[in-house]
Chain A
Amino acid sequence: MAGAKQPPSALERVLYKAADDAAFRRELLDHRSEAARRIAPDLTPSEAAMLEATPPAQLELVIRKLRGVSSAKVVLGTTAAVAAVAAAVAVIVPSQVTMGCRIDRPPTAIEAVEQSPATPPIDLVNQPTSQPTTELTSPRINESTNPRSNE
């Protein structure tokens, strides 16, 4: 949930580090995910993509604004320390999620896309027609409500 307290992600640790360490800041601005991985080996591909996509001026500004921001900061400078935390998180998080039990949950949205059977198409044929007030035309509706049909 937005704002939920969680352990700092690899990206967050990288940004805190850049805010505190001028040399690393320069390295990060120049080499992005490559530099980030040296500080946070557990940087995910999604986090790397975010770092790569952000324009230099924005990245620099964020780092500047983070200076002095209290982090309850797990600012970790060494690979060993990061690995230790990552290992701890890996142990703790699943048990928090399941309370020690495995839950056979139904599929998430993404999984449902992969798994769901085709659903009936929307019938537009029998719709009443009238002139739109502001729209240019009527919307086109995909023949199926099953996203998989687009693939």
Chain B
Amino acid sequence: MPDLTLVNLNMLFMRYGQEIERELHVPLGCLYLCTALEKLGYEVDFRDYQTVPSDQPFDMEVFLDFLAEPAPVIGLSCMANLLPFTILAMRALRERFPDRRLVLGGVGSKAVEDHLLARFPWIDIICRGEGERTAPDLLDAIKTGRDLSTVDGISFRRSDGTIVHNPDRERIRDLDSIGFPSWRKIDLPRYAGYGMMTSRGCPYPCTFCSVAPVWNLESYSRSPANIVAEMVQLNRQAGVDLFLFQDEFFVSGKRHVMEFCRLLRDSGLSVQWKAFGRVNLMDVEMMQAMADSGCVELRFGIESGSDRVLERIRKGFTAVATLELIPQAVKLFPRVDTFYVWGFPFETMDDFNQSLFQMVSFRMMGARILPSLLSLLPQTQVYREILSEGLALEFCPYLLPEFVFTGHEITRGGEIEIPPQYAEYFGLIQSNPDVFPGFFHVDLVHNVLPKLALLRQFGFYPEAQVQAEQTDTESCGAHSPRIAPQELATRAQ
């Protein structure tokens, strides 16, 4: 009998009208956890819910079938977008398996642990931060009956209902020491490239972003030799030839990146890779080295074309710096992605027009433009500022920030539709705005919708195609009912 059934609930699953799009991403966090636990002799029954053989993954019976015969401890990992589903799924697990311990992990619960334990009594334990050291300690405590208050990095509920938040566990500074993810647990060819992490955390305190606060503003990087060693192993043993560096701080320093590129070239591997850059940390020499060693796509978080907004969100560079770098990147890489965040409550129309101008300009130069509506994640400073300023949150039944798309909603062009069978899911969100603020907006009428209209006007968002396939068939047989997928920052390909 395994010690732990570990379930990955992070997934990209979209409904466009009647079509479904899924893209399987390597569940890195869970696979790192498997490595750490198995090293210490624990048996892990890992199940990646991305692979569930159903087009109705949010049907609870489908979920429960997938979780048949679980171990005594069930751990579920999710991000903020699937936190509502995870909560409902844990309730279903509690009803089906009342004797199992239910543990929630992943970044989705960060900053809302207290609310979750107070409101959802079927959640037994929440793991905070990195799991490689916390999970073995927790499993040992459960197995031996040790008091859970001795396990750093968890929050839990005592039998009398008291909620306890144990001290944080110290961060893992030497990432080379934790081993490679246990990729043998998954069927690699089914996944979209191979995701890798070269670092954990980000030192830049951008106020809209959850990465830095999730990692407590500490950032640690793997050594270039360790990264290349993993790539060599994956290429030789599993034939992987496309690597997606998913961490936001791949370019932690020029020397580090140049050394990585040199080692990769020296390894003789013929592989391609994609990574995130950062405007203020890159120059042509570094980008040339990256391109020469197989980097085919560079992604930049630009966020805004307005210096006023960039300063307000503490991005750490200016619009002019962006305008200097991106055209150079476009010349060096087959694809350059530029991510923008729009809908900041303090973003005036002048600010937004500056962003829009930059988007139009970069599109003319050949960059791909990926705007995302601000998602007010509970870990972020922007959200805390909104709370302190007393600004109201608004839920919009036809518009969600892209980050919280999950496939419960049906996407029709640039708008969404909530199917009746997921009324409870969206009801949970609407009745717990302080747990799920990422699904809400600030000032739809004056802040969000006018900007959306402009993004549509310039082709950066699709026009709404609400139920077009139902309305057009009689009037026009030639019209295609297919709804084009929206460009998503979360897509790997």
Contact = CB atoms under 8 A, between A and B. Distances in A.
A11 B360 contact: yes
B187 to A, nearest CB: 32
B362 to A, nearest CB: 9
Nearest to B397: A145
Nearest to B395: A145
A136 to B, nearest CB: 5
A28 B371 CA distance: 28
B387 A139 contact: yes
A90 interface: no
Contact of A55 (B354, B395, B476): B354
15 contacts: A2-B369, A54-B353, A62-B357, A104-B475, A110-B452, A133-B111, A133-B114, A133-B165, A134-B379, A135-B434, A139-B437, A139-B440, A141-B392, A141-B395, A145-B430
Of the four ranges (under 10, 10 to 19, 20 to 34, 35 or more), the interface on chain A belongs to: 35 or more
A46 to B, nearest CB: 6
Interface in B394-452: 394-399, 414-415, 430-434, 437, 440, 443-446, 449, 452
Contact of B324 (A61, A133, A151): A61
Interface string A105-131: 111111011000001001110011111
A148 to B, nearest CB: 7
Contacts of A87: none
A49 interface: yes
B186 interface: no
Interface of A: 1-4, 6, 9, 11-12, 15-16, 44, 46, 49-55, 57-59, 61-62, 65-66, 69, 71, 98-110, 112-113, 119, 122-124, 127-142, 145, 147-148, 150-151
A106 B466 contact: yes
A57 B320 contact: yes
Contacts of A99: 476, 478-479
B282 to A, nearest CB: 16
Contacts of A54: 305, 353-354, 357
Interface of B: 111-115, 118-119, 163, 165, 305, 307, 319-320, 323-324, 327, 349-351, 353-354, 356-358, 360-361, 363-366, 368-371, 378-379, 383-384, 386-388, 390-399, 414-415, 430-434, 437, 440, 443-446, 449, 452-454, 457-468, 471-472, 475-476, 478-479, 484, 486-487
Given A61-B320, A98-B479, A2 B370 contact: yes
A141 B327 CA distance: 42
A140 B440 CA distance: 11
A139 B464 CA distance: 30
Contacts of A123: 431
A4 B459 contact: yes
B320 A109 contact: no
Given A122-B433, A135-B384, 14 more contacts: A2-B370, A9-B360, A12-B360, A53-B349, A59-B357, A65-B365, A69-B364, A103-B468, A108-B463, A112-B398, A132-B114, A133-B115, A150-B445, A151-B445
A71 B364 contact: yes
A22 B430 CA distance: 55
Nearest to A123: B431
A138 B479 CA distance: 48
A100 B391 CA distance: 46
A50 B114 CA distance: 45
B347 to A, nearest CB: 12
Given A101-B476, A109-B414, A130-B118, A140 B390 contact: yes
Contacts of A130: 114-115, 118-119, 163
A110 B453 contact: yes
Contacts, number: 213
A53 B353 contact: yes
Contact of B468 (A16, A102, A105): A105
B390 to A, nearest CB: 6
B368 A2 contact: yes
Contacts of B327: 65
* Chain B CB within 10 Å, residue with most, of A46, A58, A123: A58
A50 B357 contact: yes
A147 B462 contact: no
Contact of A135 (B163, B378, B394): B378
A60 B22 CA distance: 42
A144 B466 CA distance: 23
Contact of B365 (A6, A52, A66): A66
A4 B7 CA distance: 38
Contacts of B452: 109-110
B457 A46 contact: yes
Nearest to A19: B364
B392 A62 contact: no
Contacts of A66: 361, 364-365
A60 to B, nearest CB: 10
A94 B434 CA distance: 44
Contacts of B397: 119, 145
B353 A50 contact: yes
Most buried by A among B323, B390, B393, B397: B323
Contacts of B113: 133
Contacts of B114: 130-133
A71 B365 CA distance: 9
Contacts of B484: 1
A103 B46 CA distance: 49
Contacts of B387: 135-139
A135 B376 CA distance: 12
Contacts of B323: 58, 61-62, 65
